[in-house]
Structure 1
Amino acid sequence: MSELMTPAIIGVVIVIVLIFIVVSSITSKKAQKVEQQKRKKIVREEIKSYLSKSNNLKNVKLEYEKVYARKGPEYKYRDVFDVVVNIFEAKTNKLMATRSFEVEGITTKEGKKNYTTTWQVNKELELEDTRKRIAIAEKKVKLTKEEKKVLKEEEKLRLVEQKTQMKEELKTLKEVNSKQKNDLESKHQIDKAIKDTTVKFIPRRNK
């Protein structure tokens, strides 16, 4: 009897494990989908904000045409996307334009295990160049050796520009921090000087 029970128990355990794996997989996919929708909404709002500030373009509706995550050594530690959107007039739903943007997610650590990603629009891109670059990356367009060489040179140039920009931003940030530090030190010195030159009033009793 016990010999018959053992395979049955093993079978039940296997079924339970399989059910657990399937349920976990479904839950994980649902969570990823929710997170993706949330991310798309945030990026959409960032693009709207960018259009409002740079082009004074307001009351518009955006629909994604293409979102492509850039790949390569230079993007190993950066989440950079080429985002192509169709811009519609909110009231009439009329297509106004199609534009492309470079969008980056900057992740910062908050606490031991918590991470927060802030999305920003780095710049607007040339639409046809973006579409072509995406098509090439997805291998929908075949290039000649010469075209591949030119593309590599362009990527190198873009990487150099990005590094230069990052260095400039870092330099500016350091200068701001240094100025704030100097201002704080000056304030402390002034406060100390005032304190040192202030005569403390000590009441005395007349004898």
Structure 2
Amino acid sequence: MGNSAGLIILLVMLIVVVGFVIITTITGKKAAKKEKEQRYKAVRNEIKAFLAKTDNRKNIRVEFEKVYSRKGPEYKYRDVFDVVVELIEPKTQKSIERRAYEVEGITTKIDKKNYATKWVVNTILDLKETEQRIAIGQKEVKLTKEERKAIKKSDRIKEKELAKIEKEEIKKIRAEAKENKKNPVIQRTTDHKEKFVPIRSKEGN
């Protein structure tokens, strides 16, 4: 009898744990989906505003085709994305044009626990070059040994240049702080990052 009661209690506990895990997973997925939708909406609105400002185009539907997070030493503390979109005329539902944009997420600290990310369209990009860069980044295009070496060499040079610039900036901040008789506070503005897309793969809207 005692063994039976113990087994029942164990089964109940197991059901509770499994139920908790399932509910937590579902809730987490829903929250992640909602956050992703909000980011897409924010970026879509920025692209529309950019179109209105630069091309005087309004009421254009923007559909995402590809989103790729740039890699490399110069993007270590920046969230920069290559975004390929299709512009559609809402009334006719016809595709007008395919374009590529450089989109950056600028994160600022609101308080001790909260951050806010503003999405900015930096510029329009060459579509062909952007798609090629994305294909290389996603390893859809195989590079030769010489090309891989050239990229690594370029990255090393950029890392050295950025390290030198950072060192000079820190030195300047410390010198200014010393002159003003203040303790320098050196803090990166991008310690906390909010990614536009959690995976580097083809995305549709």
TM-score greater than 0.5 by the shorter chain: yes
Q: Does residue 1:45 correspond to 2:29, yes or no?
A: no
Task: Identify the structure with the greater helix proportion.
Answer: 1
Instruction: Show the counterpart of 1:6.
Output: 6
Instruction: Show the counterpart of 2:120.
Output: 120
Farther off after superposition, 151-160 or 106-115: 151-160
Q: Distance in 1 between matches of 2:45 and 2:102?
A: 14
Instruction: Show the counterpart of 2:64.
Output: 64
Instruction: Show the counterpart of 2:139.
Output: 139
Instruction: Measure how far apart 1:45 and its partner are.
Output: 0.7
Count of aligned residue pairs for this structure pair:
165
Instruction: Measure how far apart 1:38 and its partner are.
Output: 1.2
Name the CA shift for 1:150/1:30 in 2 (closer, same or farther; >3 Å): same
**Percent identity over the alignment?**
51
Q: Which has the larger radius of gyration?
A: 1
1:98-156, Cα deviation, whole Å (9 max, x unpaired): 11111111111112211111111111111111111111111111011232344456667
Match runs of 1:81-100 below 5 Å = 81-100=81-100
CA contact (8 A) 2:73 2:158 kept: no
Unpaired stretches in structure 1, ≥5 consecutive residues: 171-207
Unpaired stretches in structure 2, ≥5 consecutive residues: 170-205
Q: Does residue 1:148 correspond to 2:148, yes or no?
A: yes
Across the aligned residues of Structure 1 and Structure 2, the Cα RMSD in angstroms comes to 2.7
Q: Distance in 1 between matches of 2:86 and 2:41?
A: 15
Q: Which has the higher contact order (CA 8 A, sep 6+)?
A: 2
TM-score where L is the length of structure 2: 0.70
TM-score where L is the length of structure 1: 0.70
1:136 partner letter: I
